[in-house]
Amino acid sequence: MPERFTYLLIDAACIVFPFASSFHPKIRFDKQWKYFLPSCLVTAFLFLIWDYFFTLQNIWSFNVRYISGVFLFHLPVEECLFFICVTYACVFTYYTISLFLKPSHYNKAANYITWALVLSLGVTGLLNLPRLYTSITFLSLAAFLLLLLVKRVTYLSSFFVSYLIILIPFFISNGILTGSGLDEPVVSYNNHYNLGIRMFTIPLEDTFYGMLLILMNVAGFEYLRKIKAKHVGALAK
């Protein structure tokens, strides 16, 4: 396969197994698409705006050697698909974990973890305001986690367990995107705008950028499910 399809192949590899597994009789994630799709599209729109401006500012850039050359709003089409393919795989994982592991017993521990993240990310973001990838990512995630704490959501334990599992394919796919196993990275980062800390080839900020992306999708997904449950409950009375 030509090199220019590398990023597209990574997108496809991320979604193929979760999509095929969505129809398993014990999972049937396909029945949750009506909740997933609106959340995914809204979140993708917000992140694409972020992506667009970071690309304009050369905070990150894309290697033409590994992309098809098709662009949407000055972004490679593969980058646009990333926010659908990767998000689908991650929300599918979250949904499956919430079905089978039922980690609701760990809500108190999840709250402690959330507070620790809010404080550490908030302080680090404020101390690194000129490093835009660091500050915007860390402060945005801290603010969103704080919002979920205030709203007393009950799915953070499920989210944290699923995110730990998601980190395994994350290190594989994101590792390739940042240059592992390739002559050059697919996505390059300007270290002037980040902490310069790498996990193998992956910037530390990517871990929290991904957490915010998936958590926003999960929050929207659960919000729509909750509205539907209330509507069904009201009709049953």
Share of the chain above pLDDT 90, in %: 87
Using one digit for the tens of pLDDT, what is the confidence trace for 125-149? 999 999 999 999 999 999 999 999 9
pLDDT class of 220 with cuts at 50, 70, 90: very high
pLDDT at 232 (0 to 100)? 60
Amino acid, single-letter form, for residue 27: I
In this predicted structure, which of 184-193, 199-208, 224-233 has the lowest mean pLDDT? Answer: 224-233
Taking the C-alpha atoms of residue 77 and residue 70, their distance in angstroms, rounded to an integer, is: 6
Taking the C-alpha atoms of residue 123 and residue 51, their distance in angstroms, rounded to an integer, is: 24
**What letter would DSSP give residue 178?**
T
pLDDT of 214 strictly over 70 = yes
Taking the C-alpha atoms of residue 217 and residue 40, their distance in angstroms, rounded to an integer, is: 6
Q: What are the domain boundaries of the chain?
A: 3-101+158-192+204-236
pLDDT class of 73 with cuts at 50, 70, 90: confident
3 state SS for 92-138: HHHHHHHHHCCHHHHHHHHHHHHHHHHHHHHHHHHHCCCCHHHHHHH
Taking the C-alpha atoms of residue 106 and residue 110, their distance in angstroms, rounded to an integer, is: 6
> Mean pLDDT throughout 196-211?
96
Q: Left if phi > 0, otherwise alpha if psi is -120 to 50, otherwise beta: which for 134?
A: alpha
Find residue 7's DSSP bridge partners. none
62, two tokens: 């894309």
